[in-house]
Amino acid sequence: MNRVISPVHSLNGSVQAPPDKSIAQRAALFSLLTDKESVICNYPQAADPQTALLCIKSLGAKIARRNGNLIITGTGRAGLPKNAGTIDCGNSGTTMRLLAGILAGSGTGAILTGDTSLSKRTMKRIIDPLRKMGAEIRAAEGDVAPLQFLPGNPLTGIDFELPVASAQLKSCILLAGLFTDATTVIETVPSRNHTEKMLNLRTEQKAGGLWIHTSRDHPVPVLDITIPGDFSSAAFWLVAGAIYPGSKIVVKGTGLNNTRSGALEILKRMGADITIENEFTTGSEPIGDLRVVSSALKPTIIQPEEIPNCIDELPVLAVAMAFADGVSVFRGAAELRHKECDRIDAVARLLRSAGVAVTEFDDGLEIHGNPGLIPKPALFNSYHDHRIAMASAIIAGRGSKESAIEHAEAVNVSYAEFWNHFDKLAGRG
Ligand code: S3P
């Protein structure tokens, strides 16, 4: 589906951030690991979290609705089936990689498949350590899905230092570790910490990094959780509010976990006028309303160590950089090439289509910003990637002529209400 984007004057009003898909998918998968009832409030309708529900259902979880909440009764670690057939992870890298840890740990025979995009993403990073722990896994050529897990024996615990700052890899090994005598994951560069927080895992800060411990003796907590608003989705409005003159947007109920919210600091140092209001904590996650008012932006350099903390926000941060008064750069982001599409290439193309000068590196971009930029009209290709579709929409609406976004339905992966919210804020709702 193509979505036509007409020029937008300013964006005004408030929207509720959609529920966080990272936390929601974990809530579903972790609920499978206990045979007690987990209660999940504010579970998202978006495609990836719905995929996670279908996956746990095919492994034996019972899912019901009560008073608007999702009630999940899992199988417990010991109750997982010996064979589960084919399980479709759709577009979701998080579901595939975390589920891989559970299947390897429980010795469940299964085949994990994904859509065209997910079937191109490397699974080598999880396959290698899982095999080291004793799992028998067959992958398609190039270490991609379909991934076949052979029914297996108990895994051996490992001490595993993460070779790449990836919360999906970290979580995969921690979940497999829940079926071992003892497993430790050592994280030298922090990545999102939802898994260790939600599973209440023991952590130790040491000189070389964070040591996270897991074992079969660790009790899996029974969840009673409200899914916070998704900071990564809110980031689109933070950038839009900053770059559309005369805008004032409030994004309500946004998760502010400090392993996720790096884009907030980056936008603030670029001169974005963002304030946090009505802060509170639910479970272990801080939440607040984010108010953004349009302002002039300065260029910035995002350092490699900042990348894991803003990895999903880089496409829309690049749009902000296009309106800054000078040259901005981010490097150390080679991981972006392994997302739902090659996001370095996709962002370079989207900015060039809009008339922005960009230099592409293996691991980042140099963006020549211009506060007077009037984006050229274009047919923006989303590459079926939700974040590229939304970043394209934000730049396109700032133009003076109509543009269109190809495969605009990609937003449903994380933010099904995106187009409604855009219309509402633009006064067209
Ligand atoms: C995610 C972790 C990140 C992120 C992805 C969701 C998660 O990926 O890009 O959208 O839920 O753990 P990596 O951990 O592979 O960097």
Mean pLDDT of 297-324: 98
Compute, in angstroms, the gap from residue 44 CA to the centroid of ligand 1.
17
| Ligand 1 close to Cβ of residue 220 (< 6 A) | no
| Ligand 1 close to Cβ of residue 367 (< 6 A) | no
Residue nearest to atom 15 of ligand 1 (CA): 166
Residue nearest to atom 10 of ligand 1 (CA): 312
- The token pair at 236 is 């689109």
Active site residue 312: yes
Nearest to 117 by CA among 187, 213, 48: 48
Compute, in angstroms, the gap from residue 248 CA to the centroid of ligand 1.
30
Pocket test for ligand 1, best of 25, 121, 168 (most atoms within 8 A of CB): 168
Q: Tell me: the pLDDT tens digits for 235-271?
A: 999 999 999 999 999 999 999 999 999 999 999 999 9
**∠ at Cα 174 (168, 180), nearest 5°?**
150
Domains 3-19+228-425 and 21-213 share a fold: yes
* Burial grade of 415 (CB within 10 A; 0-12, 13-18, 19 or more): buried
Q: Give the pLDDT band (50/70/90) at residue 45.
A: very high
C-alpha neighbours within 13 Å on the C-beta side of residue 16: 8
Question: What's the CATH class of domain 21-213?
Answer: alpha beta
Please give the pLDDT value at position 284. Answer: 81
Mean pLDDT of 205-226: 97
Total-model pTM: 0.97
Q: Give the pLDDT band (50/70/90) at residue 208.
A: confident
Q: Give the pLDDT band (50/70/90) at residue 153.
A: confident
Judge whether residue 385 has pLDDT over 90: yes
Compute φ and ψ for 394, nearest 5 degrees.
-65, -40
| Ligand 1 close to Cβ of residue 414 (< 6 A) | no
| Ligand 1 close to Cβ of residue 167 (< 6 A) | yes
Active-site residue among 48, 115, 230, 312? 312
Judge whether residue 429 has pLDDT over 80: no
Mean pLDDT of 214-219: 98
Compute, in angstroms, the gap from residue 94 CA to the centroid of ligand 1.
6
Q: Tell me: the pLDDT tens digits for 55-89?
A: 999 999 999 999 999 999 999 999 999 999 999 99
- The C-alpha atoms of residue 224 and residue 415 are separated, in whole angstroms, by 23
Domain boundaries, the chain: 3-19+228-425, 21-213
Judge whether residue 203 has pLDDT over 80: yes
Mean per-residue pLDDT of the chain: 97
Work out the number of other CB atoms within 10 angstroms of the CB of residue 428: 10
Ligand 1 atom, smallest distance to 232 CA: 10
Q: Tell me: the pLDDT tens digits for 19-38?
A: 999 999 999 999 999 999 99
- The token pair at 223 is 């969840």
Ligand 1 atom, smallest distance to 167 CA: 14
Quote the distance between the C-alpha of residue 280 and its chain's center.
22
Q: Give the pLDDT band (50/70/90) at residue 393.
A: very high
Pocket test for ligand 1, best of 20, 21, 22, 124 (most atoms within 8 A of CB): 22
Q: Give the pLDDT band (50/70/90) at residue 282.
A: confident
Please give the pLDDT value at position 65. Answer: 97
**In this predicted structure, which of 98-107, 131-140, 207-216, 278-287 has the lowest mean pLDDT?**
278-287
Compute, in angstroms, the gap from residue 355 CA to the centroid of ligand 1.
30
Ligand 1 atom, smallest distance to 164 CA: 16
Judge whether residue 402 has pLDDT over 80: yes
| Ligand 1 close to Cβ of residue 335 (< 6 A) | yes
The secondary structure of residue 199, as a DSSP letter, is: T
| Ligand 1 close to Cβ of residue 192 (< 6 A) | yes
Judge whether residue 106 has pLDDT over 80: yes
Residue nearest to atom 4 of ligand 1 (CA): 312
Work out the number of other CB atoms within 10 angstroms of the CB of residue 275: 12
Mean pLDDT of 305-319: 98
Please give the pLDDT value at position 73. Answer: 98
Please give the pLDDT value at position 283. Answer: 82
- The C-alpha atoms of residue 240 and residue 368 are separated, in whole angstroms, by 18
Residue 29 DSSP SS3: helix
DSSP code per residue over 40-68: EES---SHHHHHHHHHHHHTT-EEEEETT
Compute, in angstroms, the gap from residue 313 CA to the centroid of ligand 1.
11
Ligand 1 atom, smallest distance to 312 CA: 9
- Decide if 83 contacts 109 (C-beta within 8 A): yes
Residue nearest to atom 16 of ligand 1 (CA): 166
Task: Give Cα separations from 384 to 204, 231, 340, 381, 392 (angstroms).
Answer: 40, 21, 8, 8, 12
208 vs 342, residue with greater confidence: 342
Fold classified for 3-19+228-425:
UDP-n-acetylglucosamine1-carboxyvinyl-transferase; Chain (3.65.10)
Compute, in angstroms, the gap from residue 354 CA to the centroid of ligand 1.
28
- Per-residue b/e over 5-21, b at no fewer than 16 CB within 10 Å? bebbebbbeebbbbbbb
Pocket test for ligand 1, best of 26, 92, 164, 166 (most atoms within 8 A of CB): 166
Ligand 1 atom, smallest distance to 308 CA: 16
Compute, in angstroms, the gap from residue 403 CA to the centroid of ligand 1.
30
| Ligand 1 close to Cβ of residue 26 (< 6 A) | no
Percentage of the residues of the chain whose pLDDT score is greater than 70: 100
Nearest to 184 by CA among 155, 153, 158, 152: 158
Task: Note the maximum CA span of the chain.
Answer: 62
Please give the pLDDT value at position 176. Answer: 98
